[in-house]
Amino acid sequence: MPPLPFPDTVPLSWYLILSAVLFCLGVAGFVYRRNVITVFMSIELMLNAVNLSFITFSYKLKHIDGHIFAFFVMVVAAAEAAVGLAIILTVFKNRHTLQIDDVNSLKW
């Protein structure tokens, strides 16, 4: 296979743009999807995008603290996913629906 025509050095800003794009896509999914599990996955996508930008910056500044922070973000995301899915399970047991539009009794 011929060598793929991509340059040796990738400009740093591309990583950041990618992070931004991923984040926005995550937001879009968060706002637009009706299935609550899909919403959760969009949240995970957002967190990943943020991780990417942390690591990019830590590369730029040659500082390892960014990695540490990304590590903690991952930990928190894991915990949040666990608890969130438990909540979804409970709501499903009560309402038998996975559409978040139907879970709207906390209105005025």
Per CB under 8 A, which of residues 8..47 are in contact with another protein?
A: 8-18, 20-35, 37-42, 44-45
How many residues touch another protein under the rule CB under 8 A: the total is 81
Smallest Cα–Cα separation from 69: which of 58, 60, 59?
Answer: 58
Per CB under 8 A, contacts with another protein among 50-69 are 51-52, 55-56, 58-60, 62, 64-65, 67-68
Residue type, 61: L
Shortest distance, position 102 Cβ to another protein, whole Å: 10
- Residue 47 CB contacts under 8 Å (≥ 6 apart), including other chains: 73, 74, 77
Distance of CA 70 to the CA centre of its chain: 12
**The total number of residues written for the chain in this structure:** 108
Nearer to another protein, 1 or 62 (CB): 62
Report if residue 95 touches another protein, rule: CB under 8 A. Answer: no
